[in-house]
């Protein structure tokens, strides 16, 4: 990934963020589907780490990749019913997050490539600044010429006004 520019890495990272958001939405949707279907509810027991007697879920670390409370509940003979969509979404989420972490790790390496790009950009900036300086000089010259014409026009109007005024004897 070190060969990619920061902009390319940013676009790739944005794609992985979108994938992670979509997978997280799918996780929530699958959990909602399972919670709304009483057939999929597991019978709470102390050994399964399910809902406690107080009705609270077990406390996890908050990291989706290590939180075991997001596994599909077991129903019947240990088979997971309805957990396929949830497990699939969890795997997609983990994959997107891992890819995003790799992109974020590669961004500092791309700054070295950015130095070369900034040199190219600097050459273009210098060229444009030179052109701007030439245009400023031309504008200054034309402003001086315009000022001269305005002064001459003002003198012409003053002369015409004097010619049109009646002579006093």
**pLDDT tens column, 3-13:** 677 778 888 88
Residue 43 has pLDDT above 70, yes or no: no
Long-range contacts, 123-128 (Cβ 8 Å, 24+)? none
**1 lies in a domain?**
no
Rounded to the nearest 10 degrees, how much is the dihedral formed by the CA atoms of 147, 151, 152, 157? 140
Task: Locate 158 and state its tokens.
Answer: 């003053």
Closest CA to 72 of 119, 29, 40: 40
For the stretch 52-89, pLDDT in tens is 444 444 444 444 444 444 444 444 333 444 567 888 88
Cα–Cα distance measured from residue 59 to residue 68, given in angstroms and rounded to the nearest whole number = 10
For the stretch 104-157, pLDDT in tens is 888 777 666 556 566 767 888 889 899 999 999 999 999 999 999 999 999 998
Whether residue 130 sits in one domain with residue 52: no
Residues 150-165 as b or e (16 or more Cβ within 10 Å = b): eeeeeeeeeeeeeeee
**168 lies in a domain?**
no
Q: For the residues 24-49, what does the mean pLDDT come to?
A: 74
Q: Which range marks the domain in which residue 82 is found?
A: 6-112
Whether residue 76 sits in one domain with residue 53: yes
**118 lies in a domain?**
no
Whether residue 69 sits in one domain with residue 29: yes
């Amino acid at each position: 990934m070190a060969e990619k520019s920061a902009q390319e890495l940013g676009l790739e990272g944005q794609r992985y963020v979108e994938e992670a958001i979509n997978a997280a939405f799918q996780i929530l949707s699958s959990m909602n589907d399972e919670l709304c279907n009483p057939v999929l509810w597991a019978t709470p027991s102390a050994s399964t780490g399910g809902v406690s007697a107080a009705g609270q879920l077990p406390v996890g670390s908050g990291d989706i990749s290590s939180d075991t409370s997001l596994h599909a509940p077991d129903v019947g003979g240990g088979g997971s019913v309805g957990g396929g969509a949830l497990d699939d979404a969890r795997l997609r989420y983990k994959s997107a997050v891992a890819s995003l972490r790799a992109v974020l790790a590669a961004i500092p390496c791309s700054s070295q490539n950015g130095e070369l790009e900034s040199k190219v950009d600097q050459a273009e900036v210098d060229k444009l600044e030179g052109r701007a300086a030439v245009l400023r000089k031309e504008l200054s010259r034309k402003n001086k010429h315009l000022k001269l014409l305005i002064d001459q026009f003002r003198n012409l109007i003053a002369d015409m006004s004097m010619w049109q005024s009646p002579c006093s004897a």
